[in-house]
Structure 1
Amino acid sequence: MSRVRLISAIILISLISALSIGGCKEGEVVRRLSLTDGWMFRADSLVSRADIDSDKWYRADVPGTVHTDLLKNGLIPDPFYGCNEKDLQWIGETNWRYRKSFSVADETFASANINLVFEGLDTYAQIFLNGKELGSTNNMFLKWEFNCKELLKPGENVVEVLFESALNRFIRDSTSYGYPVPGGRWVFARKAAYHFGWDWGPRFITAGITSPVYIESWDNIKPIDVQLYTKSIDSSKAHITATLEITSTLTQNATVTIGEKGSGKEYISRDITLSPGERFYDIPFTIDNPKLWWSSGLGEAHIYELYFELKTASNEGWREDIPYGVRTIEVINREDSIGKPLYIKLNGVPVYMKGANYIPQHSFITEVSDNEYREVINTAVNSNMNMIRVWGGGVYEKEIFYELCSRSGILVWQDFMFACAMYPPDDLFAESVRREARYQIKRLRNYPALAMWCGNNESDEGWHNWQWQKSHKIAPADSAKLWNGYLRIFHDILPTAVAELDPGRFYLPSSPMFGWGRKESMTHSSSHYWGVWWGLEPVEKYLQKVPRFMSEFGLQAMPAISTVREFQPQQADTLFSDELRSHQKHPTGYQNILAYLAMDSLHPKTLESFIHNSQIIQAKGIGLAIEAQRRSRPYCMGTLYWQLNDCWPVTSWSGTDVNNNWKALQYTVRNLYRDILVSVIVERDSCTIYLVSDRLTDTKGIATVDLRNFTGSSQNIIEREFTIGANSSVKLISLPVSSFVHEQERASSVIEANFRTSEGTLYTNTKFLTKYGSLALERADIDMKIIKARDGYKITLITTRFAPFVQLYLSESHARFSDNFFHLWPDHPVEILCKSDLDLNSFKNQIKIFYLIL
């Protein structure tokens, strides 16, 4: 199973978690007893399956999900393999019961306050302690705390959690509601929408204890939260306020100390008087000569390793560590003469956003390891990104995700978890949303990576453009209720919570603000342009459709063959097998891919060629859009393509598949997202070349443009010294293609533009002058040499004939290549490093070469 790790979950208590309190140590104001181990589970409703005993208790992992628990007990096959998905839908239709026995120490019993805490429950659950109901839950995006002091007893205690099927709950809620609520079967549930299936993801409606669970006890004082806010920055000081939220049952004196780990520097030590009740205490302090936090590509993402200590007069203590970045951030979204721009100013500098949309890394959210979080953020950094959008149909990510973004200089556009739907307009749902928003805002607001909040993904567009009212036959009076409910959540509850709890952070009600068929989508705020792909428009349409900020656009491509192997055996490699169709969730996905290949005169006949061709066309189309958008700055100030990653092995819009195998798109993005872009766009008889710089200073260099023939000969078109201004886009040259190449030579030539800076850094871009399927190509004889290198192998390739889009891959194993889908020129050897743990013989047996040949 792809990335369902058959190991016990390792719980990370992040440095930035909301209360980093260790075990039960003397003098600590809050004590915790972990209840992670020793859980069991069983079906709570009759399961008509011979391999599952409904009365038997099986071992469960916490954190975990029922699907992964069933798999680890050998009760179901790999959910991702073949067509197993459709045969496992009964799991999401069943109620499940989890239980654990535990004992508590006398010290805990003596505490004045004792809570049973679940940091994550998915989703509809009843909690029982020693046979008595403690409470119930209905939102997987909340931490749940239950006062359990009266129900705890000496000796053995038993906690049970009964999960109700979210699908059955939807059927019950929707039947009783009285009128349709447009969207999907997730609309009533505060649960990850993608669990119900998406056009890139399977339908696995999960349940389970998805985060740590523990007994928390305290007597007189309970620190709740620390909020950091940079009030102002000048040339010599950063003025910061720390607001401590503390609950106390009595009046007593305490000392708060704020300092920096490692350096031993103490910024402030202040005496305060704690008052009864939940109170807020402001502690202003300054950092002299602050090092600013910058996004990746502009400077260091400097982190101050701050600590906060509270010591009471009775010698009780508490400490929290918060890595913090000093910076200012402003999102500009005010009307101008054209429409309404959307761009980010970091430390007073307008910054072009380069990034992608991020979805959960796994269908079962507890199965993502810390290392996989590092890999995905490293991919963003190595692809020269500076922003990730956390999409609203998934989950609010774990602390490690935001910490890695903060340490790596990756800004986060954070959606609230609403997508492609309207939502119930009743008071109970609104209150659940209010609590969720307050909890998540407080959890995430201290991360320097957090750039902005967005209310939802495409709900406004859906209401106004997807004909929901007509297709669902919603009466006018009920339509008014739904729209008023929408306004209540996205124009009142969420922005009010952001303004109160995260003042100064920008809130956007919805993305996009206008559907892609409306002219305002190109002039106002963020845009999701899906005329290419959904509308089957040619990729050249991206040259015309340049908005103020492009936050979604994409083309599909196949995953690596090693990922296909995880759900399909080699003997099933046909176009298109049942397994391939099961791992394509768009209703016309393969037809659309074939249509875009045909537009470039490509007609693959084998799975190997289909994988290769789909990836180079995806890279071509999205690359064209990126160039059109970046060269249009400052009109357009952001590019976030759909999508960075996958949650299972699938054909999708991603640049990296579920195993982090880079598609051709990701290598293209890495080049096009560099701090200086050489943009070459060939359209019919026109060739225009731009230089675009994200640097904060002017850059001098030499620009060259050459015509290269497939034989290796070249003809210089221009060579000149050029200075590209800071934060600018400048046209270098525009000329007819016919002025430098004869018509009959277009099929055997490329135009190559280079910019070499005065410090020697080379930026390059190469474009063909005709469709890929019309190129005059001959079969190349590529020689490959392999030698062992650190963490893998060095591969040297040389050819006597031009080979375009050379792809290296392993037939069964996942690998990381330093470069791929490159052009191999005659007598110009290329060295590639491959990260792999295979032995030499296995590596040689698996390494394959593919290139474009017609």
Structure 2
Amino acid sequence: MPFMKDLAALALFLSTSLLSAQPTTWHLHEGWTFRQVGTEDWYSAEVPGVVHLDLLRHEIIPDPFVGTQEKDVQWIEDENWEYQTSFPMPEGPKHQHYTLQFDGLDTYAQVWLNGKLILESDNMFRQYKLEVGEQLQSENTLRIVFESPLRRHAERIADNGLPYHKTAGNDARPKSRVSVYTRKAPYQFGWDWGPRLVTSGIWQPVSLIGWDEVQLTGFHLFQNSVTAQQVSGVLEARFQGRLEPGMELRLVHAEDKSIWVRYPITERIRTAEQIPVRFDNLQLWWPHTLGKPHRYPLRLELWQGELLLGSQTQAIGFRSIELVQELDPIGTSYYFKVNGLPFYAMGANLVPPDPLPPRATDEVWQGVVADARAVGMNMLRAWGGGIYPPDAFYDACDSLGILVWQDFMFACSMYPDEEEFLASIQEEVIYQVERLQVHPSLALWCGNNEVDVAWHNWGWQIQFGIFGKDSARMADAYRHIFKEKIPRLIRVFDPNRNYVHTSPLSNWGKLENFNHSSMHYWGVWHGPDDFEKFSVYVPRFMSEYGFQSFPEVATVAQFANGDSWSLDDPVMSHHQKSYIGNGEIRKHLRRYYPKEVDFEDFLYKSQLTQAKAMEMAITAHRQRAGHNMGTLYWQINDTWPGPSWSSIDYYGRWKASHYKVRQLYQPVMASAILDKGSGNVWVHSTSPEIQDLQVVVTRHPLRGKAEQIVLDTTFTLSPFAAIESALSFEYPRSQRNSSVWEVTLWKGEQRLSSSVQMAVRPKRLRIPQGQVVLQHLPESQSIELTSSTFIPDVWLEADGVSHWSDNSFHLLPSQTVRIRYEGTLESEKEIRWRSWGVDNP
């Protein structure tokens, strides 16, 4: 059958042509080995990865999280490390071009391909691409030598130049503070909530990409005007190589295959092509507190006749976000508008989930976002002392309707502006902006964390003798980087996105400053203030504040054995990285709760104390909505196990504060202030809807006598409104130590929020001895709890349970509380509970 043979040959030719027309990607992640430079022994390595993880895998170093073993691995940062692999010339269709792509090298790397030096890297935050077609052979050797950043900058520290490094207070090696001179994750050099693990390695994927005349590398839709009726802007197609006449770009809906844009190429193009576009009647993307986070799956395709040359797919959300900073009767506003509506931000600051970044998988980052959404957060701030999160983080924020405040990776130190350093910053900014700008959740670019406020308020000039020309030159470097260089790049590459040069824009030293812009308030913890001061110092936008706690018993057991379970034990002291230390937790704990009876009780009460701080702060912020338009506490997550400001510990266990935040971040929330016989109820809504509501306040005697409704009223709440004056009640002052008040907000039959309020600090309550009755309901994977008396802050634990639907809750007299659990539980006998108000069972 000659005809059939010819047809088969033609089919093979066409399929091969189609394959070779599109780029081909080979991941070079196999066969890697590594060694310490100057030694003979090679070991297998994992890529992506870093040297600490490879050393751990081969049991060459101990786990730095356990005990004080972090000290035993510090030698790694002083050594150079070498990685190598071999790979054959890829089989299959041949291409005109071959690009070697490194998505992340940490940090000072010399890259050798078949014995030829092809790259010297100096920035872990950027991508490197190299044309290597002429260097490739049938068998290839790829070798990468990482130079220690400590060695790299040793002479810089020793010379008498401008002392930028002296300002790096986080850098835990005082005589070798090189962090400010290297574009490497600052937190790896140490911080007041994490270890010092200065690592090196191929921390992101490495690939070989084969392509021909053109490679479509991405696209972006610049949204110049956005309304529900029409979106207009520019579609920018990005590519390597050139576009030729006869080619066509098509923007296609990836699911229904409808074509949104057809753009024929009529002349040769060697740079990105920009195409004016307009779309009608689209569903807009909203943060979840304002609407639904709708996205369209769009694919940009490049065609030449009937031949597909390449495609890129993105999920696009159409929205406008504006940062409003205007003079007003109060001072200077600072709030976001999304699609023209005011947005009240409720969220937290985010730190890298691990000091060794490759260990934090996409699932870990997505888990943090899921935990944020589970408690009602609508904004996360990616803090500037860590790393730029992976795409999976932003994808999760996009899909769950959570805005992202994105710092560039500069924090708490002055930085030089030499030409080579600026060139590296420029490449980093361009790469990260083009990588992240597609995400509708990305609301703000921020130049740095606390650099400006530190320079003007932390006393560096006096402490380090920086005066006259030296001071002026270092201040000029700040201006050059954060007020000129970076914003100029933002205007070119992401012109529709907001930029501020720093956070905060105001310092907490004066009360008047709280009327202006963003604020980091640290009078609680770093200052002498009690939690009550949160109600006094309420800024226009609070982008940092917080209080520390320890993780729960199960987490402590993973880094310290039972012999170390003492607050003053060397292991506990080592894991406490704050210069103030564990005494600050103990001081505030004893102000609000009875003195701890043992170490485990201290762990429990430290979490209650942190939750109390969050309650008093967030309540104060939301009570003054309008004046205040955002509250982002420090911090949602941990980078290692130990005491910190996190509301979720390193292993993903929710602390008491995270459960409390879920109550505080309800879209419509009611609470009460009880003082001197008067109760004032306030209600705050982040919703764009008009709502008919009912608020009920019930007094519960602690000993379980008859409850009393002291307020029951209905009212209409306007969009984004706060109401207080019409909602008040009186109570005898004699009840303040013997009662609590339950404040419940209803919308028809739906309970919107509920909280238990006290008229005194918790330890002043006269809690009667009581007992909790537990019942296990295995068919619904839940338990029920009841008590005849008031049981405060019930904390549940069980070895087989990974998560409780609620915890650290008040059990009101004669009420039944049902709690769901995740994990395994055979009977109620496996459950351990504690409450500071009664004797533990």
Query: Quick check: 1:486 aligned with 2:487?
Result: no
Corresponding residue of 2:642: 650
SS state of the match for residue 256, structure 2?
coil
Query: Quick check: 1:468 aligned with 2:460?
Result: yes
Corresponding residue of 1:98: 83
Aligned length: 812
* More deviation, 775-784/185-194: 775-784
Map 1:434-583 to 2 at 5 A. 434-583=426-575
Provide the identity percentage.
35
1:807 to 775, 795, 801: 795
The letter of the residue matching 2:436 is L
Corresponding residue of 1:724: 717
- The 1-side partners of 2:393 and 2:520 are apart by 25
2:303 to 288, 307, 311: 311
Query: Quick check: 1:674 aligned with 2:666?
Result: yes
Corresponding residue of 2:783: 795
Corresponding residue of 1:19: none
Map 1:821-836 to 2 at 5 A. 821-836=808-823
1:740 to 727, 731, 735: 731
Map 1:233-252 to 2 at 5 A. 233-249=226-242, 251-252=244-245
SS state of the match for residue 282, structure 2?
coil
Please report how far the alpha carbon of residue 238 of structure 1 lies from its aligned counterpart in structure 2 after TM superposition: 2.8
Please report how far the alpha carbon of residue 37 of structure 1 lies from its aligned counterpart in structure 2 after TM superposition: 1.4
Please report how far the alpha carbon of residue 732 of structure 1 lies from its aligned counterpart in structure 2 after TM superposition: 4.5
Corresponding residue of 1:402: 394
Please report how far the alpha carbon of residue 596 of structure 1 lies from its aligned counterpart in structure 2 after TM superposition: 0.5
1:309–1:319 contact (8 Å) kept in structure 2: yes
Corresponding residue of 1:145: 129
Map 1:114-129 to 2 at 5 A. 114-129=98-113
1:562–1:810 contact (8 Å) kept in structure 2: no
Corresponding residue of 2:266: 273
SS state of the match for residue 187, structure 1?
helix
Corresponding residue of 1:12: none
Corresponding residue of 2:338: 346
Map 1:106-505 to 2 at 5 A. 111-154=95-138, 156-176=139-159, 178-181=161-164, 182-183=167-168, 184=171, 185=177, 186-249=179-242, 251-273=244-266, 275-286=268-279, 288-313=280-305, 315-505=307-497
Query: Quick check: 1:773 aligned with 2:763?
Result: yes
Distance 1:425 1:241, change over 3 A: closer
* More deviation, 322-331/233-242: 233-242
Please report how far the alpha carbon of residue 29 of structure 1 lies from its aligned counterpart in structure 2 after TM superposition: 3.8
Corresponding residue of 1:817: 804
2:243–2:265 contact (8 Å) kept in structure 1: no
- The 2-side partners of 1:170 and 1:683 are apart by 58
- The 1-side partners of 2:242 and 2:654 are apart by 55
- The 2-side partners of 1:630 and 1:623 are apart by 11
Corresponding residue of 1:701: 693
- The 2-side partners of 1:276 and 1:255 are apart by 12
- The 1-side partners of 2:468 and 2:116 are apart by 45
* TM-score (norm: length of structure 1): 0.92
* TM-score (norm: length of structure 2): 0.93
Distance 1:170 1:523, change over 3 A: farther
Gaps of 5+ in 2: 1-15, 172-176
Corresponding residue of 1:640: 632
Distance 1:731 1:33, change over 3 A: same
- The 1-side partners of 2:258 and 2:829 are apart by 54
Please report how far the alpha carbon of residue 604 of structure 1 lies from its aligned counterpart in structure 2 after TM superposition: 0.5
Distance 1:733 1:85, change over 3 A: farther
1:119–1:211 contact (8 Å) kept in structure 2: yes
Corresponding residue of 2:5: none
Corresponding residue of 2:3: none
1:669-710: CA deviation from partner (whole Å, max 9, x where unpaired): 111111111122235665432111111121112222222211
Please report how far the alpha carbon of residue 784 of structure 1 lies from its aligned counterpart in structure 2 after TM superposition: 1.8
SS state of the match for residue 770, structure 2?
coil
1:144-199: CA deviation from partner (whole Å, max 9, x where unpaired): 12232332222x21111111112333433322461310224310010111001100
Gaps of 5+ in 1: 1-22, 46-53
Distance 1:778 1:170, change over 3 A: farther
SS state of the match for residue 558, structure 2?
coil
SS state of the match for residue 796, structure 2?
strand
Corresponding residue of 2:11: none
- The 2-side partners of 1:718 and 1:785 are apart by 33
* More deviation, 824-833/641-650: 824-833
SS state of the match for residue 143, structure 2?
strand
- The 1-side partners of 2:619 and 2:226 are apart by 35
The letter of the residue matching 2:325 is N
Please report how far the alpha carbon of residue 481 of structure 1 lies from its aligned counterpart in structure 2 after TM superposition: 1.4
The letter of the residue matching 1:806 is V
SS state of the match for residue 134, structure 1?
strand
The letter of the residue matching 1:105 is P
Please report how far the alpha carbon of residue 614 of structure 1 lies from its aligned counterpart in structure 2 after TM superposition: 1.1
The letter of the residue matching 2:741 is I
* More deviation, 388-397/691-700: 691-700
Corresponding residue of 2:67: 82
Please report how far the alpha carbon of residue 593 of structure 1 lies from its aligned counterpart in structure 2 after TM superposition: 0.4
* More deviation, 398-407/245-254: 245-254
1:490-521: CA deviation from partner (whole Å, max 9, x where unpaired): 00111111111111211011001122113453
* More deviation, 408-417/661-670: 661-670
SS state of the match for residue 472, structure 2?
helix
- The 1-side partners of 2:604 and 2:716 are apart by 38
Corresponding residue of 2:774: 784
State the Cα RMSD in Å: 2.1
- The 1-side partners of 2:267 and 2:798 are apart by 63
1:698–1:724 contact (8 Å) kept in structure 2: yes
- The 1-side partners of 2:670 and 2:188 are apart by 41
Corresponding residue of 1:61: 46
Please report how far the alpha carbon of residue 257 of structure 1 lies from its aligned counterpart in structure 2 after TM superposition: 1.2
Distance 1:24 1:515, change over 3 A: farther
Distance 1:709 1:535, change over 3 A: same
SS state of the match for residue 307, structure 2?
coil
Please report how far the alpha carbon of residue 107 of structure 1 lies from its aligned counterpart in structure 2 after TM superposition: 6.2
SS state of the match for residue 115, structure 1?
strand
Please report how far the alpha carbon of residue 584 of structure 1 lies from its aligned counterpart in structure 2 after TM superposition: 1.1
- The 1-side partners of 2:287 and 2:498 are apart by 17
SS state of the match for residue 461, structure 2?
helix
1:243-278: CA deviation from partner (whole Å, max 9, x where unpaired): 112333574321111121222222122212352532
- The 1-side partners of 2:306 and 2:157 are apart by 55
2:411–2:448 contact (8 Å) kept in structure 1: yes
Please report how far the alpha carbon of residue 592 of structure 1 lies from its aligned counterpart in structure 2 after TM superposition: 0.4
2:213–2:241 contact (8 Å) kept in structure 1: yes
